[in-house]
Amino acid sequence: MRMRAILFFLFVSSALVALAATPAVAGHQADPPAVDAQKAPLPVDQVVSQLVERNREREEALRKFQGTRVYSIKYTGFFGAHSAEMTVNVSYTSPDHKEFTIVSQSGSKFIVDHVLKGLLDGEKESANPDNKQRTTLNATNYDFTLDQYDTSGETPQYVLDVKPKKDSKFVYRGKIWVDGKDFAVTRIQAEPAKSPSFWVKKSEVNHRYEKVDEFWLPAENKTDSWIRLGGHAVLSIEYQNYKITEAAPVESPSVSAKAGASSL
């Protein structure tokens, strides 16, 4: 029974942190600010302002999409080895409605029934307007500082340190990577701002996005957790087979955005 309790609190809580921290959409190719991002980085407040504004425009533009997810849990340690996997089809309708259809499941029935299926309910909870308002990646909920400006790739990446202004299990502290042209989050490397459970000694969340048509959507999530009584657990989510079925034109950037002059 103790092992069941550990797994339940560990995976439900840590996964909710990752899911709640993830924006629904993260990018449409739009005209960048007039400042040449390849030569000079923008101030952090302008990067965050661009990120928030573009996310708002893109979230309004993405009306419907479909996809498949593969959830996988593996635990090894003092309590032995436990694992489970579940494949789910997802149908999204703006602004926050998601339908989940379980395609297959295997491994521990307890983990499937009480943890993996719980993640689906938890994601719906995190989409509640009040929860979204408290966890959205913006200057109201987080402090941002520039860690690095990386120009080694095709487009520059702003690597920002993020710190929540109020700790909870639904927000995180760590680093985000922001595309310097799309102003979209492309990667998150973080940990829960508040431990999700007494049983969890430490959790690390890595989230990666990919571009689908004109939008960036979640591609892979991996949460590593270490248990106080011994053991290591891994929750992974793979996002596959995206199909955008309805999208509206994205608003043109505002004059202030084109001039690179917006501020928080």
Q: Domain extents for the chain?
A: 2-258
Confidence (pLDDT) at 23: 41
- For residue 247, the one-letter residue type is A
Mean pLDDT of 147-169: 91
Residue 124 has pLDDT above 80, yes or no: no
* Residues whose CB is less than 8 angstroms from the CB of residue 260 and which lie 6 or more positions away in sequence, other chains included: 33, 34, 35, 42, 46
Counting Cα atoms < 13 Å in the Cβ hemisphere of 184 gives 25
- Span of 4-13, 135-144, 175-184, 212-221 with lowest mean pLDDT: 4-13
pLDDT at 181: 92
Q: How far apart are CA 145 and CA 160, in angstroms?
A: 6
Q: Name which residue leads in pLDDT, 251 or 55.
A: 55
Does the pLDDT of residue 39 top 80, yes or no?
no
Where residue 77 falls (left for φ over 0; alpha for ψ -120 to 50; beta otherwise) is: left
Q: What is the pLDDT of residue 250?
A: 65
Q: How far is residue 144 CA from its own chain's centroid? A: 17
Mean pLDDT of 95-117: 90
pTM: 0.82
Where does the pLDDT of residue 123 fall: very low under 50, low under 70, confident under 90, or very high at 90 and above? confident
Can you tell me the mean pLDDT for 166-177?
A: 86
The angle, 0 to 180 degrees and rounded to 10, between the axes of the packed helices 2-20 and 117-126 is 40
Q: How confident is the model at residue 22 (pLDDT cuts 50, 70, 90)?
A: very low
pLDDT band at 96; cut points 50, 70, 90: confident
Tell me: pLDDT of 24 over 60: no
Q: What are phi and psi of 173, to 5 degrees?
A: -125, 145
**How far is it, in rounded angstroms, from Cα 20 to Cα 226?**
21
Rounded-to-10 torsion of CA 154, 41, 44, 129:
-30
194-210 pLDDT, tens digit each: 776 777 788 888 999 99
Contact 224, 234 (CB under 8 A): yes
pLDDT of amino acid 17: 39
The pair of three-digit structure tokens given for residue 78, joined into one six-digit string: 């003092």
The segment with the largest mean pLDDT, out of 7-11, 156-160, 167-171, is: 156-160
pLDDT band at 40 (very low <50, low <70, confident <90, very high): low
Structure tokens at 67: 């996809």
Lowest mean pLDDT among 179-188, 201-210, 244-253: 244-253
Task: Calculate ∠ Cα 96-102-107, nearest 5°.
Answer: 130
